[in-house]
Amino acid sequence: MIEKWKILDDNGNSTGEVLERNNPRVWDKGIYHLASDVWILNSENKILIQKRSEQKKLEPNVWAMTGGSVIFGETPKETIVREAKEELDIDINPNNLQLITKIKSLNVWVNTYLLKSDYDISKMKFQPDEVSDVKWATWEEIDNIVKQGKFIKYRWEFVSEILKNEIKK
């Protein structure tokens, strides 16, 4: 099945256009699509991060949060549930997702969620073409990974202070 994305304008509003993921126009300046990220925080105040597979076209072998593009007809929360199941084989209750920010980054509008939950990473099953590793990391560890250039671009800077405040609660 070919993924289709609803196209958004510079303000995050639908243009009414739907394009296939592989259409080169989806990367044109001024064309945006919707994505969703989730930052999972456990009871030890560690954040779940996953290493992107070396097979990924964009930013292989770097650490990231769980997330992906919203497929046409799907809600941002449904995207999180689908991506977590596909990539890590974990179940997420969409009612437990807390929207913490919406960001515009490059050609994507991203709904960013927080989920407080403990998952046993030893039981996770990775989708090999998406994920090669997973770990619980402290805020400081992730900040260092970002400074080393080994974390997906254009995400941490939008949520790091929000997550730091959540950890302090």
Best CA proximity match to 165, nearest among 18, 41, 36: 41
What is residue 158's three-state secondary structure? helix
C-alpha 21/C-alpha 27 separation (Å) is 9
What is the per-residue pLDDT for 13? 94
Overall domain count for the chain: 1
C-alpha 54/C-alpha 62 separation (Å) is 9
Asked if 29 contacts 119 with a C-beta cutoff of 8 angstroms, the reply is no
- The DSSP line for 104-132 is EETTEEEEEEEEE----GGG----TTTEE
What is the per-residue pLDDT for 106? 87
CATH value at residue 61: 3.90.79.10
pLDDT tens string, the chain, 169 residues long: the values are 789 999 999 999 999 999 999 898 888 888 999 999 999 999 999 999 999 999 998 899 999 999 999 999 999 999 999 999 999 999 999 999 999 999 998 899 999 999 999 999 999 999 999 999 999 999 999 999 999 999 999 999 999 999 999 998 7
What is the per-residue pLDDT for 105? 87
pTM, to two decimals: 0.94
Instruction: List the domain range (segments joined by +) for residue 96.
Output: 4-168
Asked if 158 contacts 103 with a C-beta cutoff of 8 angstroms, the reply is yes
- Beta strands in 9-162, from DSSP E residues, in sequence order: 14-20, 32-41, 47-52, 63-64, 66-69, 98-105, 108-116, 131-137
What is the per-residue pLDDT for 58? 86
- For residue 151, what is the DSSP state? B
